[in-house]
Structure 1
Amino acid sequence: MNTSTPEIARHRTAILRRKLSKPVQLLIEDGILTKETPFFDYGCGRGEDIQILNRNGYTAAGWDPHFASRQKRQPASIVNLGYVLNIIEDPQERRDTLQEAAALASDLLVVSVMIRDNAPDQKSGEQSFGDGILTSWSTFQRYFSQSEFRSYLAEELQTEIMLASVGVAYVFKSDAYREQFLRARLTAGVTTGVGAALREAEFRRILGDWVALFHELGRPPGKGEFPEYNFILRSFGSQAAAEQAVRTELDEDTVAERARLRREQAEVQICRLLVRGQGKARFSQLPTENQHDVRIFFGNFENALAAAREKLKGFADLALVSEYIELSSVGKVLPDDIYIHTDSLGRAPEMLQILVELALMIIPDDLTYNIVKIARNSWHVTFLNYPTFHADAHPALDGSMKVLLHKNDLKYRDFSRSENPPILHRKETFLHSEHSRFELYSQLSSAEEEAGLLGQPGIGHRKQWEELLARRSYYIEGHSLQPAAG
């Protein structure tokens, strides 16, 4: 199977929240962010912090390259760079982003990143990339340790860094703001005793991190998922008691939605194991986080297996296959089929990916292909090979292997010696819109459409296409439509 480095989708890391993010909440608790303080969110994602602040009488604005690209990057007393540095895969761009955000802050820059102090083993679906990892969602994460985070900021900004909490740093540009922060922290220590205040702050910090992960997982974090899990047990006596104690801190809608997604993801993971294991799967084959999902959402592995087998039986219903095709955000969808390039297959509905895996079990291991065709009205999956897909504007089909799943049979067609092979048009339709070459292919298709070349009979084969171009006095140069001379 042909593979390539997945396109990095930074916007997928923008989490939908209904509460203030941790760094913004800290600013308010520390008495630094007031209703009189101009606040700017650099990389604001979907803008929940800005909306909540403005609804409550604060003065807040923001900019994001994906969700708010038309907004201006403007100076402010306080600038927030929240969980942005860790999703940038290019170290130089990471440094530039930090410097740009710092330049906008007149009094305080707040920086927050994801922390993994213990550098755990990579989770399922993660792969090393540069100085971080690529996730199964085609996002990049650069995790820092707490000490590394502080050193990184100090070196890049050449100034004193004050850690407000785990993964949150204050970079003061105003002495008045620095003194205000220290005075607020010192006052808390005097009121209850410095040692007691520090212990209370640490407890709240750990509990806050546990609650945040609870929201992310849709369930209480288990042993091996939360670095300070034993602290939670010592504090509350049991995980159940901890869960009960934080109920008022939870957004039930967020937890329920994440639980639904996690349950479905666990089912899909077991489906993959069943397909690859020819009907067999073991609990120990699941990643740790999926094992916790199974225990919480299914009760035991037997129940999860039964649910996964029922899901696989759904392939017997072609109406369900058609539904998965309609749900796909990638691929060229036709009345009877969907065509997806292998560069984008990982973005198709996971059950379509599993259907492809079922078909892959039948074909020879050395088969080369780069487009998958999934039938809507039959149990057919076809693997097509266009060797020059990215090189040629209209690549020719070299060969196709059709898998007849209901008959466990194969049909191969060889076009490599054909004088008039099938060719492709509108290549962008086989790819996801964030693909690096999507725009290039789209521009060619638009030009051919405007010239009245597409939709003509017979152009799906090379000779007829070349004859049409000649009749209309056009030629293709690279991925550009050009008028012929004379």
Structure 2
Amino acid sequence: MARERWGSERRLTAISRGKLSAPARRAVLDHQIQPGSAVLDYGCGRGEDVRALRQMGCDATGWDPFYRPEGRLESAPVVLLTYVLNVIEDRDERRRALQQAWELAHTVLIASARLTWERAKVNGETYGDGLLTQRRTFQHLYGASELRSYVEDVTGVRAVSASPGIIYAFKDDTARLGYLARRIVTDEEWLASDDMASALAALVDHMERRGRLSRLEEMPLPMAQRLGPMRPAELQRLVRESADPGKVVEGAKRTTLNTLLFLALELFNGRGPFSSLPLTVQLDIRAFFSSYKEASRRADRLLLKLRDDTYIRGAMNASSVGKLTPTALYVHRRAVERMPTVLRLYEHCAAIAAGRPEAWTVTKLCHQGRAVSWLDYPNFDTDPHPRLLTSYQVNLKTFDTSHRSYDGSDNRPLLHRKHEFLHPDDPDTGKYRRLTDAEVRAGLYANPHLIGTENGWEGELARCGRALRGHRLVRVHD
């Protein structure tokens, strides 16, 4: 039976958090919101993000039809649309809200929504394309890829999933590509330079990490001004003489692979002209490739390799990091950047398509099919056999996502052989390997089908008369 049109109690969905919302926090961590940034929170509710961002030095304003109808509704470089799309029951009005928020944004729109895996938290009955709760509020829960597609459809630009349920839509390709570049090269901060000597040390460090001389225009402005009086030829000579040649070679190799990874990911998310690339990427291409065309051709081949099962399995077999099983490669967060470039691309494509969760410990790359999971083991470093808290998976063929929480479960999955997930150079690898060797000698891995969950593992410990004291295995005496 058709329901008559009604107005939901949207004001009741505005909650008090006492801290930044997840989308605002993600935007701060991603440098989309910085001190001094002008931010409009469109549909700000009780205005908690506005207050918190002002305390951080931002020029934040908010507007809400119920709580702040008198607020300034003016355009801003950054516009937040935080959990607004969920609560509008009328599809046309929902679309208009997204369109207006997009029109108000100069640089980036940050749109977020609750996702389908939260269905168990919403007590309501079906109404239209969502749920009507007992409080007469409305919730339309999105699939992660559905939200991204919806934002792209309304804005007409390629959007990026910053995290599950958080979408960035950029007004121009330069900002979008700059964001993608920062996701791939995460350690490009310059060393502090308070005088000429420290400025030269920062240039040497940059050359060793990047594999090439830096240009004046890519340096932080105070450093460029400090070094400005020096003749370029003399400055380059000093840097070359001071840099470690071995580190420069390794830096060049790393930068070449990172550039290919970036260009392949750029193609996956929509490639722009050379002039739209971040300046540092342009300089890397000029230093390590004959042309943008040649670099793009090599990156395209790399992206095509993702379709080749044999190549992917070969890359997993050749990887110096990770635990390889008959179906997937498992790699710890600290070792992900040490994977072969094609596997890093595999993980990045999934993250761009449907978002990488903020809390995760191990990534799982399937070589049977194309799916990436991020698994959260909060106590990986302290628990000799950490328990799984959540898993989030993205299917790269369909872009379907799934999420599972083991919070409250009395028989959670757990990990063994922790050293296998890390790089051999990791400082904890030796300690974890010694524990594994002791467990093997004690016979704890004799029944591998039993030890994958808490109950089975505890049973095997009891059978073998062993207990764990931190990362030491000890005998238990009756």
Report the TM-score, using the length of structure 1 for normalisation.
0.48
The structure having more radius of gyration, on CA atoms, is 1
